[in-house]
Structure 1
Amino acid sequence: MYSNSTVYIIGHGRTSSDNVITERFKIFFINFIVDTENDEVVDLSCSATIPTTQEFIASLFVGKKFDKYYKEIEEEVLKRYHGTSQKAIIIAYKDGLKRYMEVKDKYY
């Protein structure tokens, strides 16, 4: 399903203690599939408990570049996602990006 040029990266973020994600998973995470040839997010899943939420979060990242931090992505999350995990999404994005850059530096 994924080409040999893709990598699987996980970013973590904390949600509030009253969030169902915290009760179920203890932490919010986003799994990014990134193509190392063009640094594009080709797929994504996350620890959202509702499929629509997972699909919406994917729509914020799939097709976007993952080669550096983009303030525009954070601003889009702030503008469009108004669930209790908003800040956790941004933190998971930054954490995933950091991990991706480490992988890129080491292997590519």
Structure 2
Amino acid sequence: MYMENTVYVVGNAKTNEDNAITIRFNSFYIGFVVDLSTDKIIDLNSSSTLRTTDEFIRSLLIGRNLRIFDDKLKEEVIKRYHGSSQKAIIVAYRDGVKKYNEVKRKYF
């Protein structure tokens, strides 16, 4: 399904202990599929418990560049996402940026 010029990286973060995500998965994860030639996120999935949450996160992140942490995207998450995992989304995104850059440096 994914072309050879893509990689998969996972960003993770902790959530509140009473969060359903923590109860179910122990942490919050976002799995990013990234096009190496453009550094753009072409697909993702998260460890959210609600389908709508995952779809909303997808709408915020797909098409964004994973090479650099985008402060405007952080502000957009703060402005538009009002669930208990708001900070976890930002931390998982930041972790994804870090891991993507490690992969690019090491293998590409």
Q: How does 1:75-94 map to 2 (within 5 A)?
A: 75-94=75-94
Offset of residue 43 of structure 1: 0.3
In structure 2, C-alpha distance between the alignment counterparts of 1:96 and 1:82, rounded to whole Å: 21
Amino acid at match of 2:51: P
Correspondence for 1:22: 22
TM-score (structure 1 length as normaliser): 0.98
In structure 1, C-alpha distance between the alignment counterparts of 2:68 and 2:28, rounded to whole Å: 22
In structure 2, C-alpha distance between the alignment counterparts of 1:12 and 1:77, rounded to whole Å: 16
In structure 2, C-alpha distance between the alignment counterparts of 1:96 and 1:65, rounded to whole Å: 11
Offset of residue 66 of structure 1: 1.1
Offset of residue 69 of structure 1: 1.1
Amino acid at match of 1:27: S
Offset of residue 35 of structure 1: 0.4
Name stretches of at least 5 consecutive residues in structure 2 with no aligned partner.
none
How many pairs align?
Answer: 108
Correspondence for 1:31: 31
Q: How does 1:59-98 map to 2 (within 5 A)?
A: 59-98=59-98
Q: Percent identity?
A: 52
Offset of residue 107 of structure 1: 1.0
CA RMSD of aligned residues (A): 0.6
**Which stretches of structure 1, 4 residues or longer, exceed 3 Å deviation after superposition?**
none
SS class of match (1:3): coil
Name stretches of at least 5 consecutive residues in structure 1 with no aligned partner.
none
In structure 1, C-alpha distance between the alignment counterparts of 2:78 and 2:107, rounded to whole Å: 33
SS class of match (2:24): helix
Correspondence for 1:104: 104
